[in-house]
A = this chain, B = another copy of it.
C-alpha cells in the first residue's frame, strides 16, 4: 500500500489529530476505553476511502477530514457494540474487551462515538452528506440484527448471507466513498460510480475476512482464527460446505454452528478439513476477486491518476490479504 500511504499521509495525520481531539470528554473513561480501539491507529481503511475519493474528484478543501473522521467514529462505535457479550458467551468463559469495564461501558462509549460522528457531520452542514451517513447507519444496524438472526443457521441462503454483508459491512464502505464525490460537488454519475466502487470493495473485504477466519495460513502466522466459528456465524465458507456436505458432514455443521456452546476440542480442525475438502475457502476468495473486479470496473469512468491507482491498490491489497 505504498502509494496509498504516500498520497494520504498528510490528510490521514489530520484525521488522526481530529480523532484524538474529538475523543476527549470530561468523563475520562470515554477516551480511555475508546483509545485502545481507535487511537492506537488501526488500518483506517474507511476514512482513507473518503480521503482518496474526495481527492480523486478534484476536491481541494478540507471538509473531507471531518467527514473521514466521522466515518471512522461510526465504524468504531460498531466495533464497540460488537464487543457486547451474551449470557451464552459468558457461560463459555468468553469475555474480551468487556472484561475490564463490564458490558455496559462499551455500549455507552459506542453511543458517545456515534454522537461524535453525528456532531462532525452536522459541523459539515451538508444535508446530502448527512442523509447518506444517516441512511448508512440505519442499514448497518439492520445488517447487524440480521446477522444475529442468521447465526447458528447453516441453512441460511447465500442470498441472505449477501444481504447481511452488504448491509453490515459494504454500506459504510459505500457511504465513505460516496461522500467523497459529494464534498467535491461532482455529477451524479461519478457519485454513483464511487458508491459502487465502495460497495463492491466492502463485499470483497468481508468475503476475505470470512475466509481468513478459517485460514490455515493465518493460524501459521499466529493470528487468531475461529472467532466466527465459535460464535456460530453462518459465513459463506460454512454455508457452501454445508450445501456440498454428506449427511454426516451436515450433522456436524448443524451441531457446531447450531449450538456453538457445545463445541468440543478438535471441532475447529474438523471444520477446516471439511472446508478444504470442498474447496469453499477458495470459492469464497474467488467471489471476493470478482467483487474486487467489479470495484475496479466502477473506477473506469475516471481518468487515470495517482488517486485512482491508489484506490485500485486498496482493492488489490484487500483481496491479496488472503494469499
Contacts and interface: CB of A to CB of B under 8 A. Distances in A.
B111 A81 contact: yes
B115 A148 contact: no
Given A107-B81, A108-B145, A102 B122 contact: no
Nearest to A103: B86
Contacts of A103: 84-87, 103
Interface string A93-118: 00100100011110111011011101
A111 to B, nearest CB: 4
A26 interface: yes
A241 B265 CA distance: 54
Interface in A76-93: 77, 81, 84-88, 90
A88 B107 contact: no
B81 A108 contact: yes
A142 interface: yes
Interface stretch (A128-136, A172-180, A269-277): A128-136
Interface string A245-260: 0000000000000000
A27 B149 contact: yes
Nearest to A128: B122
Contacts of A98: 87
A279 interface: no
A127 interface: yes
A107 B81 CA distance: 7
A135 to B, nearest CB: 7
Given A125-B127, A130-B122, A144 B102 contact: no
A225 interface: no
A131 B122 contact: yes
A215 interface: no
A127 B122 contact: yes
Contacts of A144: 108, 111
A134 B73 CA distance: 14
Interface string A197-235: 000000000000000000000000000000000000000
10 contacts: A27-B146, A86-B104, A87-B90, A87-B98, A109-B145, A115-B138, A118-B137, A119-B131, A122-B127, A125-B127
Given A118-B137, A119-B131, 8 more contacts: A29-B145, A84-B104, A87-B98, A103-B103, A111-B140, A112-B138, A115-B138, A122-B127
